[in-house]
Structure 1
Amino acid sequence: MLERPNLNEYHPYFERYLELVPDKGLQDILKKQLETTINLLSNITSEQAEYQYEEKKWRLKEVVGHMADVERVLSYHLLVIARGDTVSFTPFDKDLFMTNANFRQLDFKDILSDFTIVRQCTSSLISSLPEDSWIRTGTVLNHPMTARALAYIIAGHELHHQTIIKERYLINNNLDSMEKGN
């Protein structure tokens, strides 16, 4: 079983994500998260996906695209560290990623599908890693980072954005009644 990482296995910045993740069954958590996110967003129209809760904030479709991008990056870091490479990963600029992404031109259903595929790939990677790979350490944000910490951060990042979507996009976009089936 994949145990929760210790505090010394990741940069303190990531604690905000790790504290959101329940203690047991990471693979089940990742699967249930995906189901929750898909159920939350599967009935969103193209118009609703364009919603921004403030002028300079991302559109809902961009948030989902960001979730997929971050999971790709973190999964790559996880893979490299789990395989024993000692490369040091520098931070990536999420705003630069957004500037150079074409989420605004993509159909929301395609973005949601992409996120689903990314999560399936992440889950496949996590389920295939041998036990001894979880404590292998690399460097992320100039700090030691284990493969298992990255797996938990992936889960926490999605939980973080699920909350933002519920609190700032769905309710403010008058989608809360749709979510409840009204």
Structure 2
Amino acid sequence: MDAERIFAYRALRIARNDMTALPGFEENDYVVVANANNREYESLLSEYETVRNASISLFETFTNDDLLRLGTASNNSISVRAIGYIMLGHELHHKNVILERYL
């Protein structure tokens, strides 16, 4: 969820034509301090739903021009549309991890 929030923030900044280069981040560093292991399963699911719905709402506001706008994140040129696809792929990756390891 933290990574999705960061991706959404990057998409927003780039869509709004903010040309500031955005730094990279290490998602595994966030996991260490996220305190997820001390939370109830239902709480995590509720937060996940809230974050995902916020991302969907954000992307629904973008025009075709917004989606094609380019910016810099993690020292790479990237479009808002590409960030959306990264968000989807990141979710699928974690879904597969859960299925393979825990279900």
Whether TM exceeds 0.5 here: the answer is yes
> 1:18-97, aligned counterparts within 5 Å?
68-97=1-30
Percent sequence identity over aligned pairs: 37
Structure 1 stretches of 4+ with a deviation exceeding 4 A read none
Question: Of the candidates 152, 161, 165, which is equivalent to residue 98 of structure 2?
Answer: 165
Q: Secondary structure at the match of 2:101?
A: helix
Give the Cα–Cα distance (whole angstroms) in 1 for the partners of residues 2 and 24 of structure 2.
13
Length-normalised TM-score, structure 1 = 0.55
Give the Cα–Cα distance (whole angstroms) in 1 for the partners of residues 22 and 63 of structure 2.
22
**Count, aligned residues:** 103
Provide the residue aligned with 2:77 in structure 1.
144
Give the Cα–Cα distance (whole angstroms) in 2 for the partners of residues 148 and 79 of structure 1.
11
Provide the residue aligned with 1:127 in structure 2.
60
C-alpha deviations, 1:74-124, integer Å up to 9, x for none? Answer: 011011101100121221122221122121221111011101000000000
From the CA coordinates, give the structure whose radius of gyration is larger. Answer: 1
Q: CA RMSD in A?
A: 1.0
Give the gaps of 5 or more residues in structure 1: 1-67, 171-182
C-alpha deviations, 1:109-156, integer Å up to 9, x for none? Answer: 101110100000000011111221111111112110000000011011
Give the Cα–Cα distance (whole angstroms) in 2 for the partners of residues 69 and 143 of structure 1.
20
Length-normalised TM-score, structure 2 = 0.94
Q: Secondary structure at the match of 1:138?
A: strand
Q: Secondary structure at the match of 2:17?
A: coil
Residue identity in the other structure for 1:138: G
Residue identity in the other structure for 1:125: L
Q: Secondary structure at the match of 1:89?
A: coil
Give the Cα–Cα distance (whole angstroms) in 2 for the partners of residues 134 and 85 of structure 1.
14
Higher share in helix:
2
C-alpha deviations, 1:15-74, integer Å up to 9, x for none? Answer: xxxxxxxxxxxxxxxxxxxxxxxxxxxxxxxxxxxxxxxxxxxxxxxxxxxxx1111110
Give the gaps of 5 or more residues in structure 2: none
Question: Of the candidates 74, 81, 86, which is equivalent to residue 153 of structure 1?
Answer: 86
